[in-house]
Amino acid sequence: MPDDAPRDELSWLDYLPELTALVWVVHCGGFSAAARASHVDKSTLSRRVRALEDRLGVRLLDRTTRTVRPTQAGQQLYASCEPHLAAVGHALSATTRDQQTGGTVRVTTLSALVDCVWAPVIGELRETHPDVRIEVHSSTPFERLVDAGYDLALRTGRLPNTQEVARRLATWRYVLVASPELAERLPASARPGQPGQEWLLFNSIPSANRWTFERADETFTAEVTPALVSDEPLLLRRMAIDGFGILPAVPMLVMEDLRQGRLVRVMPEWRVAHTHGVFTALPHRAHTAPAVRTVIDALERRLKHLEPQWAAVSE
């Protein structure tokens, strides 16, 4: 309600406990029955009804040793208030019920995670939790979940310093891939960053052209020459398949291409020296909706299945 609303439009809120007590007593036909039904003790109900009568200056109940009956004013007030209080009760119950049984979960994710992670997760939940609906929004920038209205994010890489609640579900490492034709042209002794190599780089990575590689006890850092820089991972994948350069790929993006032979690993004795996590992020620590927890559980199962496969192609 607006701050400048007239006081008399808001004053009924001050009467709410007393009005609720009156509705319970009239509805149940007495204080004892109302106390049992409302789980509010009899003396508190009586005190609240007395307070309401004093504030209004009107007798609302006729009390005898055996009966409690509403006066004409009490009956009129009950008839006016009961439907509205009942509607509030139904709304609260419906909110709790919806949270218990399902609801819509709005998620934001990277496009590289859509095919191998989200498609199977959504398929599983349609079978096991058909009352849980998922809206998937693919985005590259790290948006504040509260500002964007998301319930959950699935993110990877280095997380920004926010107040969101993050949990690591899996770890992965970049894998160097290229088309079979380009791989054949690389010398057997090739190492990353040598002259003549062209690379396809994701420009959301800090220092995207500077990479550290390792093998056994040897580590070195190289600046690579970009053939293409983009923030769209699907474009970089397509260009790698078409032979335009070497792609340091997130394994979830190219697993099927490696299985089908559209891409192959190059310089496999070298690996990228650092790893990254896959994280769920929540806007708040408290009151996570059951539907959101259901989605997170499904994501955790899927990522536990995928993590060994990612390691097999990048280690």
The answer to whether 170 touches 116, Cβ cutoff 8 Å, is: no
**Per-residue pLDDT band at 156 (split at 50, 70, 90):** confident
Domain 175-274, architecture per CATH: 3-Layer(aba) Sandwich (3.40)
Residue spans in the chain of domains classed CATH 1.10.10.10: 7-100
Average pLDDT over residues 11-38: 86
What is the per-residue pLDDT for 147?
64
Could you read off the pLDDT of 94-103 as tens digits, one per residue? 666 555 556 8
CATH code, residues 7-100: 1.10.10.10
The answer to whether 313 touches 136, Cβ cutoff 8 Å, is: no
Residue 256 CB partners (closer than 8 Å, separation 6+): 115, 116
**Per-residue pLDDT band at 245 (split at 50, 70, 90):** very high
> Quick one: 38 exposed, middle or buried, by C-beta within 10 A (0-12, 13-18, 19+)?
middle
Cα(181)–Cα(245) distance, rounded to whole angstroms? Answer: 11
Cα(44)–Cα(31) distance, rounded to whole angstroms? Answer: 10
What is the per-residue pLDDT for 287?
65
What is the per-residue pLDDT for 2?
44
The answer to whether 253 touches 239, Cβ cutoff 8 Å, is: no
Global model pTM greater than 0.85: no
What is the per-residue pLDDT for 70?
92
The answer to whether 128 touches 297, Cβ cutoff 8 Å, is: no
Residue 163 CB partners (closer than 8 Å, separation 6+): none
How many helices (H) and strands (E) would you count in the chain? 11, 15
Could you read off the pLDDT of 34-62 as tens digits, one per residue? 898 888 999 999 999 999 999 889 999 99
Mean pLDDT across the chain: 85
Among the residue ranges 154-158, 171-175, 236-240, 296-300, the one predicted with the least confidence is: 154-158
| DSSP secondary structure string for all residues of 43-105 | HHHHHHHHHHHHHHTS--EEE-SS-EEE-HHHHHHHHHHHHHHHHHHHHHHHHHHHHHH-EEE
Average pLDDT over residues 208-217: 87
The answer to whether 195 touches 291, Cβ cutoff 8 Å, is: no
Cα(60)–Cα(49) distance, rounded to whole angstroms? Answer: 8
What is the per-residue pLDDT for 314?
80
Which residues make beta-bridge pairs with 247? 177
What is the per-residue pLDDT for 240?
97
More confident residue, 116 or 2: 116
The answer to whether 150 touches 137, Cβ cutoff 8 Å, is: yes
Residue spans in the chain of domains classed CATH 3.40.190.10: 102-171+277-314, 175-274
Tokens of 200: 């396809």
More confident residue, 160 or 31: 31
Average pLDDT over residues 219-231: 91
Fold for domain 102-171+277-314?
A: D-Maltodextrin-Binding Protein; domain 2 (3.40.190)
| DSSP secondary structure string for all residues of 110-129 | -GGGIIIIIHHHHHHHHHH-
What is the per-residue pLDDT for 6?
43
